[in-house]
């Protein structure tokens, strides 16, 4: 269940690299859905991937700044 929570974004990863990889996978999935759906709206192409990229940077920063000492 832990991996599912990580992929759904309800739980943060333990390392910044894993968090960034998960978030960038979400961006790639959103772009693929836009391509497959044939979306031509410029706002959709700008806001959806852009918003996900901003969220990826913020979430990765949170994980990087978090104290991971055992």
- The residue ranking higher by pLDDT, 68 or 60, is 60
Model pLDDT for residues 10-65, shown as the tens digit of each residue: 788 888 999 999 999 999 999 999 999 999 999 999 999 999 999 999 999 998 99
Which residues does 39 contact at the CB level (< 8 Å), separation at least 6?
A: 45
Q: Give pTM, 2 decimals.
A: 0.80
* Contacts of 48-56 spanning 24+ positions with Cβ under 8 A: 52/23, 52/26, 52/27, 53/27, 55/23, 56/20, 56/23, 56/24, 56/26, 56/27
Pair of tokens at residue 60: 């990765």
pLDDT at 11: 83
């Amino acid at each position: 269940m832990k991996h599912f929570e990580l992929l759904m974004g309800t739980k943060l990863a333990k390392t910044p690299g894993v968090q960034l990889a998960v978030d960038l996978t979400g961006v790639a999935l959103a772009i693929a859905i836009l391509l497959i759906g044939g979306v031509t709206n410029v706002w959709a192409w700008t806001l959806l991937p852009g918003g996900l990229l901003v969220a990826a940077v913020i979430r990765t920063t949170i994980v990087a700044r978090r104290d991971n000492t055992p």
